[in-house]
Amino acid sequence: METLSYARTESPAGPLFLAASKKGLVRLEFENRMQKTPPGIELRESKAALAPYLRELDEYFSGRLRDFSLPLDLRGTAFQMACWQALLKIPYGETRSYLDIARTIGHPNACRAVGMSNNRNPIAIIVPCHRVIASSGSLCGYGGGLDVKRKLLALEEQHNPQHPRLPLQIGA
């Protein structure tokens, strides 16, 4: 049985749930869309264990942090891992399309599969699937809801003078 430390916190994006192993952050989810805990995993509440992650999230939401530095313990298929690693390379305040991600990982015809991998992303915000948009530039799909996606992109736009206008139709 593996034990993960967890904590819950409020944020400008809504209530969040975080869980970490000894290796790093395993989950950062919107409380209204939490995945079931897999068999063989025990959760133990520990704000102290998650304090460094909570601190970086606070800094991100205040606009003082652009790049998260704490370790992640990503768990998924090889395809999902490739997608999530590509997401981690999208700079703060920028966006990429599902097609861009599919091309980056060497599967240019796998836009839908990229979308499903984003949907299964266990570490929201830090693995920035909110930065992925449709090729048309419109917003589409986000586990936290499109309103939260808009808020996260607007937050990054506000604190990113190098890229003052994100290439997307916020009202889409």
**Could you give the residue numbers annotated as active site?**
129
Q: Are 126 and 59 in contact (CB under 8 A)?
A: no
Token code pair at residue 46:
């520990």
Q: CB-side exposure of 77: number of CA atoms within 13 Å?
A: 8
Q: CB-side exposure of 93: number of CA atoms within 13 Å?
A: 13
Q: H or E element: which one contains 52? A: helix 47-61
Degrees (nearest 5) of the Cα angle 148, 146, 16? 35
**CA distances, 101 to each of 33, 77, 84, 88, 151 (Å):** 24, 16, 9, 11, 22
